[in-house]
Amino acid sequence: MTKYHSKPVNHEGIVNWSEEEHSIWYELITRQQTIISSRACTAYLEGLALLNLPCSRVPQLPEINAVLQKETGWRVEPVNALISFDRFFDLLADKRFPVATFLRSREEFDYLQEPDFFHEVFGHCAMLTNPDFAHFTHVYGRLGQLASAEQRSYLARLYWFTVEFGLVRENAKIKIYGGGILSSPGETLYVLNSDRPVKHPFDIQRVLRTPYRIDIMQPVYYIVDDISELYRISERGLLQQIDLAMQSQLLAPLFSPKESSDAK
């Protein structure tokens, strides 16, 4: 359940954002631009430059779509705060990225569990200008349409450790491409500056069997060698990889049960 509700979108794709929401957007984006400038991967920074998101106001969906459609044929689709798995996979399979049209409140300025407009647009849309990332996300959606309920739980782990919390190696340095990190100031600093999280080279079987929680700083991350590796991963028969992973037990979680663990 969520306390947030998406704002209406008119027939031209325009949202009537309030002055307070423009102010929240300004504070979110200006803070995060500074933090990610030396930590985000090249593909993300190039995509962010293409999007040219305004700082003084919340961007409108048609502005974002004009860039995405030109670069990779994608567009953003306004949705309610929460959508079903079926709709989520259908949208990705149609090269439409779901974006909830609400912004977080000041009470949850630093972190909220629901993916808001800032998370989806600032965190994810820049990477959707990259053809390899866009292809991976498209294939992911098509596979989700075909997957069983149990297979979808494994697909969720793949999405979590790539699209949301993925890392990439660039010139012997670790950089960020996952939108869940890039939209979070705390996690952006934590993932690269702290010695607490474990960072493994990407291994599809390990990723598919790694448990996660959405309400904590991640204890483990996976590193691809290049963003183009995502394209290769998407062409590796992922449902067959999932069937193979299902024959083994999940890895031991590196976090405490929710009742006794501190949230972000």
135 labeled part of a ligand binding site = no
Does this model's pTM top 0.75? My answer is yes
5 labeled part of a ligand binding site = no
Coil, strand or helix at 40: strand
Whether residue 156 is predicted with pLDDT greater than 70 in this model: the reply is yes
Contact predicate 170/41, CB 8 Å:
yes
For domain 19-250, give the fold.
Phenylalanine Hydroxylase (1.10.800)
Whether residue 260 is predicted with pLDDT greater than 50 in this model: the reply is no
Whether residue 263 is predicted with pLDDT greater than 50 in this model: the reply is no
What's the number of CA atoms in the CB half-sphere (13 Å) around residue 66?
Answer: 10
Q: What percentage of the chain exceeds 90 in pLDDT?
A: 91
pLDDT tens for residues 112-136?
A: 888 999 999 999 999 999 999 999 9
Helices (H), 95-223: 117-118, 131-146, 149-159, 179-182, 185-193, 204-208
Task: Write down the mean pLDDT value for the chain.
Answer: 95
Whether residue 146 is predicted with pLDDT greater than 90 in this model: the reply is yes
Whether residue 258 is predicted with pLDDT greater than 90 in this model: the reply is no
> What does the pLDDT read at residue 261?
43
Stretch 159-174: mean pLDDT, rounded?
Answer: 97
> What does the pLDDT read at residue 110?
87
Residue 259: pLDDT band with limits 50, 70, 90: low
> What does the pLDDT read at residue 152?
98
Residue 201: pLDDT band with limits 50, 70, 90: very high
Stretch 207-213: mean pLDDT, rounded?
Answer: 97
11 labeled part of a ligand binding site = no
> What does the pLDDT read at residue 264?
43
Q: What percentage of the chain exceeds 70 in pLDDT?
A: 97
Stretch 143-166: mean pLDDT, rounded?
Answer: 98
Going along the chain, which residue ranges are E strands?
75-79, 96-100, 167-170, 173-176, 198-201, 220-224
Residue 1: pLDDT band with limits 50, 70, 90: low
Whether residue 148 is predicted with pLDDT greater than 70 in this model: the reply is yes
